[in-house]
């Protein structure tokens, strides 16, 4: 492997982490919104949220990303591949985050919320100071787990020509006729990313515990 | 998007049947086999032989860190340098089985740890041990307790099977991709493909819910 | 202490011989040099404050816990060690265990099997006996504990008292040489205790050899041929129920009887 090969790994790692990171950032608030729609049992919207999650959750990453990248231009929306990847992963992350928030909401004791209501808190105050701190805390393991899932699905972006870690490894192997070393290097990078995420989870959990919320 | 798009899909049904057949057979075989392999691997987590225990722990954490596609490349491009050649379909199947067996083993291990200790102890006290203990007492409980998680993993298998199009296995996604590359109707093609995956997952959910209902009063 | 030691050599009727059993968990010495014998048909109640080691003793008898020192002999065969003196392998151990019936505090029924399957499991799969024959016996045993109409139900459908009666039937089906009861009624609602004690009383009257760990003092007095009272890992009294309940000799026993409000 030469210098440019290593450089392509760096580039691949950046797009892998970049896509996953952006998706989770977009997915957290949107997923929370959908979860709240279902939690509040708003008639039509709640059902729509359910349908959205059910369909997106079962759609393979490869299929979804091709739908976005090849399909949307039919309606005159031309996207560059990176934007298409971001949109596709955000759609997935939103659905998964909705499930994570929802299970935290289900575990949340509704009567607390009603108590807050009885004390005259406005809807926003109730949400911000009673609900959110508690469900945020119980959602962290799920959110980190979701992030690792996104990282593991990031090789899907190679089908629209983007370079991620796995694609970089495969390309180098095809050129040098020695497929195993670059694949192992790629694997090592994934291990590092996953371990960093687990470390992040530990940090977040200790911080939340010491903050006492 | 208009009616002719769907007409095209109907006319190309032969290709699509081929894709459905590939996806279904891959998912079905690897779904069943990985549960069995998982069942065989799980007791090794509790083995007294430390290298065996370490080996299975290492295998499972490795699979947990690796993206499925990377593992497919290892099987499809990597193994031939060691003289092991599979065709694309077999490579895909082997990759699905090995990769998801590790996840199944992790799922079953956590179910094992959750079985109330005194139920297992009663087994020991009544003379059950080794294979009989696993077959008669631990195994059935393990399977019934982990049904929801196993169902989730099956859905994961369905989704991962779509990666196999990249090594040119003609599965559902690849079939629709080949149609859209001829007729330039990507939106309808991938929407229909997505709906097929959805139906497949709904079917799995339906089955899992049925079995979970059966298991509910049998799991202590 | 002299009265406690084994006064005479084992006779042919000695079903269980416990000799010098000790067991520690880390620094915690749970059992200290425990010895006693049981003759065929004897019913011994193990009493004592919680944490005195009675449950551990029971678990040592069928080798669920391996004692640190001492011997257990079941009908003169040594538990845990083969004739050569080597440790028993799993197969030998499971054969020995299947000769001892154990009834658990929290029932420990196998939840995925029906009542009948629970009772048949060990005779069929461990003792490898003929299924038809076992099934007939299992039905008879279940009838004996009054559950002939619940045979095809799952344990989750039963009340606590019924579950424990299944537990007893499961033990009986192995035709055990001795029955061990580990607080069989303490997980039950007070209303359901009676039906289980009734079955046990019936067994005792039929001449079963039983070791019972229990907190039911009245019952212990009625059914036991002997009371063994333990405190912090030692056997402190080993006497007839009348002697023990009416004339406890040690202060520890007096305090204990007082605390459980036995009059």
Mutate one of A9, A16, A19, A59 to test the B interface: name it (highest B CB count within 10 A).
A59
- The pair of structure tokens assigned to A199 is 């470390």
Selection from B191, B189, B167 nearest residue B180 by Cα: B189
Alpha-helix residue ranges (DSSP H) falling in chain B:
3-11, 13-45, 50-65, 68-73, 88-114, 117-125, 130-133, 139-145, 147-161, 172-183, 186-215
Which range of residues forms the domain containing residue B180?
Answer: 19-219
**Among candidates B119, B128, B140 on the partner chain, residue whose Cβ is nearest the Cβ of C94:** B128
Q: pLDDT band at residue C95, thresholds of 50, 70 and 90?
A: confident
Residues 163-182 of B with CB under 8 A from A: 163, 165-166, 172-173, 177, 180
Q: pLDDT class for C143, splitting at 50, 70, 90?
A: very high
Measure in Å the smallest separation between the Cα of B206 and chain A Cα atoms: 13
A152, B162: Cβ pair inside 8 Å? no
pLDDT digits (tens, 9 = 90+) for A157-186: 999 999 999 999 999 999 998 899 999 999
Give the pLDDT of residue A124.
Answer: 81
Measured between beta carbons, the chain B residues lying within 8 angstroms of C90 are 129-130
- B96-136 pLDDT, tens digit per residue, is 999 999 999 999 999 999 899 899 999 999 989 888 888 89
Q: Choosing among B122, B132, B141, B214, which should be mutated to test the C contact, i.e. which has the most C CBs within 10 A? A: B122
Of C98, C106, C125, the CB nearest to B136: C125
β-bridge partners, C179:
C101, C210
- Of the candidate ranges A39-43, A55-59, C38-42, C195-199, the one whose mean pLDDT is the lowest: A39-43
Q: Decide if pLDDT at B73 tops 80.
A: yes
Contact C108 B129 (CB under 8 A): no
- Is the pLDDT at B21 greater than 90? The verdict is yes
Nearest to B70 among A159, A187, A194 (CB): A187
Interface test with A, best of B180, B190, B191, B195 (most A CBs within 10 A): B190
Percent of chain B at pLDDT exceeding 70 = 99
Chain B CB contacts of C154 under 8 Å are 217-218
Q: Could you report the predicted ipTM of this complex, rounded to two decimals?
A: 0.89
Name chain B contacts of A159, Cβ cutoff 8 Å.
Answer: 165-166
Query: Looking at residue C83, what is its pLDDT?
Result: 78
Report pLDDT for C210.
95
SS3 content of chain A, % helix, strand, coil (to 5): 85, 0, 15
**CB of A190 less than 8 A from some CB of B:** yes
Q: Within an 8 Å CB–CB cutoff, is residue A4 touching chain B?
A: no
Question: Do the domain assignments include residue B14?
Answer: no
Mean pLDDT (whole number) for C93-105: 90
Question: Does A169 contact B65 at a Cβ distance shorter than 8 Å?
Answer: no
Nearest-by-CA chain A residue for B187? A71
A3-168+180-211 domain in CATH 1.10.3720.10?
Answer: yes
pLDDT for position A17: 92
Which residue would you say has higher pLDDT here, C261 or A44? A44
In the prediction, which pLDDT does C104 show? 93
Percent of chain A with pLDDT over 90: 52
* Residue B135 included in any domain: yes
pLDDT of residue B7: 84
Tokens 């945020």 found at:
A136
Is the pLDDT at C29 greater than 50, yes or no?
yes
pLDDT for residue C263: 53
pLDDT attached to residue A108: 81
Looking at the predicted structure, is the pLDDT value of residue A68 above 70?
A: yes
Identify whether B1 is part of a domain: no
* Measured distance CA(C48)–CA(C207) in Å, rounded: 25
**Least-confidence region, from A65-74, A103-112, B157-166, C120-129:** A103-112
**Alpha-carbon gap: B217 to the closest alpha carbon of chain C (Å):** 6
Calculate the average pLDDT of chain B: 92
Give domain limits for chain A.
3-168+180-211
Interface of B with A in 28-87 (CB under 8 A): 62, 64-70, 73-74, 77-78, 81
- Are C174 and B124 an interchain contact pair (Cβ–Cβ within 8 Å)? no
Of C159, C212, C158, C168, residue with least CA distance to C188: C159
Per-residue model confidence (pLDDT) at position B20: 95
Show residues of chain B in contact with C156, CB under 8 Å: 217-218, 220
Residue C4 to chain B, least CA–CA distance (Å): 29
Residue owning tokens 């009887």: C257
Q: Is A178 on the interface with B (CB under 8 A)?
A: yes
Do C and A share at least 3 CB pairs under 8 Å?
no
Structural tokens at position C41: 């048909």
Q: Pick A187's closest partner by Cβ from B66, B200, B201.
A: B66
- Cβ of A155 within 8 Å of Cβ of B66? The answer is no
**Sequence-separated (6 or more) residues with CB below 8 Å from residue A155:** A164, A165, A166, A167, B67, B68, B69, B70, B163
Chains A and B touch (3+ CB pairs under 8 A): yes
**Per-residue pLDDT tens over the stretch B174-203:** 999 999 988 888 999 999 999 999 999 999
Hey, which of A177-181, B93-97, C77-81 has the most confident mean pLDDT? B93-97
Chain B residues within an 8 Å CB radius of A58: 155, 158-159, 197-198, 200-202
Model confidence over B195-218: pLDDT tens digits? 999 999 999 999 999 999 888 888
- C219-250 per-position pLDDT tens digit: 999 999 999 999 989 999 999 999 999 999 99
Report pTM.
0.83
Whether the predicted pLDDT of B167 surpasses 90: yes
Q: So what's the pLDDT on residue C6?
A: 46
Number of compact structural domains in chain B: 1
Q: Are B204 and B151 in contact (CB under 8 A)?
A: yes
Kindly indicate the confidence band of residue A107, based on its pLDDT and cuts at 50, 70 and 90: confident
- What percentage of residues in chain B have a pLDDT greater than 90? 71
- The answer to whether residue C4 scores a pLDDT higher than 70 is no
Domains observed in chain C: 40-65+90-99+178-262 (3.40.50.300), 111-176 (no CATH)
List the CATH number of the domain containing B88. Answer: 1.10.3720.10
Q: Report whether pLDDT(B89) > 60.
A: yes
Closest CA relative to residue B160, chosen from A136, A59, C74, A168: A59
Chains in contact with A, where contact requires at least 3 CB pairs less than 8 Å apart: B
Rounded to whole angstroms, what are the CA distances from A92 to A155, B117, C119? 14, 39, 50
So what's the pLDDT on residue A211? 65
């Amino acid at each position: 492997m030469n210098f440019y090969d290593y450089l392509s790994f760096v580039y691949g790692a950046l797009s892998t982490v970049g896509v996953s990171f952006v998706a989770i950032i977009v997915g957290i608030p949107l997923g929370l919104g959908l979860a709240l729609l279902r939690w509040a049992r708003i008639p039509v919207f709640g059902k729509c949220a359910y349908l959205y999650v059910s369909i997106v959750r079962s759609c393979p990453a490869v299929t979804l990303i091709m739908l976005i990248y090849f399909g949307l231009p039919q309606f005159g929306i031309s996207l560059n591949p990176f934007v298409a990847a971001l949109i596709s992963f955000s759609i997935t992350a939103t659905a998964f985050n909705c499930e994570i928030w929802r299970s935290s909401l289900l575990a949340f004791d509704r009567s607390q919320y009603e108590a807050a209501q009885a004390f005259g808190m406005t809807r926003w105050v109730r949400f911000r100071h009673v609900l959110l701190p508690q469900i945020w805390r119980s959602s962290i393991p799920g959110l980190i787990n979701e992030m690792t899932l996104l990282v593991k699905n990031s090789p899907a972006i190679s089908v629209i020509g983007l370079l991620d870690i796995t694609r970089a490894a495969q390309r180098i192997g095809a050129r040098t006729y020695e497929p195993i070393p670059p694949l192992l290097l790629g694997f090592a990078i994934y291990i590092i990313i996953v371990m960093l995420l687990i470390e992040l989870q530990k940090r977040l959990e200790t911080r939340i515990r010491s903050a006492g919320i | 998007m208009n009616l002719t798009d769907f007409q095209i899909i109907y006319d190309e049904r032969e290709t699509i049947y081929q894709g459905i057949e590939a996806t279904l057979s891959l998912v079905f075989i690897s779904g069943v086999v990985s549960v069995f392999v998982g069942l065989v691997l799980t007791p090794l987590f509790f083995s007294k032989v430390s290298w065996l225990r370490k080996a299975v722990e290492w295998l499972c954490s490795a699979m947990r860190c690796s993206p499925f596609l990377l593992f497919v490349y290892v099987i499809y491009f990597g193994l031939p340098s060691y003289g092991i050649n599979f065709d694309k379909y077999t490579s895909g199947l082997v990759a699905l089985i090995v990769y998801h067996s590790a996840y199944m083993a992790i799922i079953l291990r956590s179910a094992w740890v959750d079985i109330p200790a005194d139920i297992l102890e009663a087994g020991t006290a009544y003379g059950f041990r080794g294979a009989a203990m696993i077959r008669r007492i631990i195994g059935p409980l393990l399977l019934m307790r982990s049904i929801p998680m196993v169902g989730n993993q099956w859905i994961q298998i369905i989704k991962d099977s779509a990666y196999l199009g990249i090594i040119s296995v003609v599965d559902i996604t690849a079939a629709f991709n080949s149609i859209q590359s001829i007729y330039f109707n990507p939106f309808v093609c991938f929407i229909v493909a997505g709906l097929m995956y959805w139906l497949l997952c709904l079917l799995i959910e339906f089955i899992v819910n049925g079995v979970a209902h059966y298991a509910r009063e049998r799991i202590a | 202490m002299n009265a406690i030691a084994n006064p005479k050599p084992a006779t042919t009727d000695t079903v269980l011989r416990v000799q010098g059993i000790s067991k520690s968990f880390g620094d915690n010495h749970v059992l200290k040099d425990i010895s006693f014998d049981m003759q065929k048909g004897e019913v011994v109640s193990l009493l004592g404050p919680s944490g005195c080691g009675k449950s551990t003793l029971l678990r040592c008898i069928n080798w669920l816990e391996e004692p640190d020192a001492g011997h257990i002999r079941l009908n003169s065969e040594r538990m845990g060690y083969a004739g050569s003196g080597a440790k028993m392998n799993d197969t030998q151990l499971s054969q020995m265990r299947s000769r001892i019936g154990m009834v658990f505090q929290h029932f420990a029924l196998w939840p995925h099997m029906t009542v009948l399957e629970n009772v048949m499991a060990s005779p069929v799969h461990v003792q490898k006996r003929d299924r038809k024959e076992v099934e007939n016996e299992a039905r008879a045993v279940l009838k004996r504990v009054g559950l002939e109409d619940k045979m095809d139900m799952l344990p989750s459908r039963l009340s606590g008292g019924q579950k424990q009666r299944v537990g007893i039937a499961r033990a009986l089906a192995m035709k055990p040489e001795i029955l061990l009861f580990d607080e069989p009624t303490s997980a039950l609602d007070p209303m359901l205790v009676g039906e289980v004690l009734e079955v046990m009383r019936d067994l005792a009257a039929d001449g079963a050899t039983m070791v019972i760990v229990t907190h039911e003092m009245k019952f212990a007095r009625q059914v036991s041929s002997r009371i063994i009272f333990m405190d912090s890992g030692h056997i402190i009294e080993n006497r007839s129920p009348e002697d023990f309940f009416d004339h406890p000799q040690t202060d520890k026993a007096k305090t204990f009887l007082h605390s459980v409000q036995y009059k």
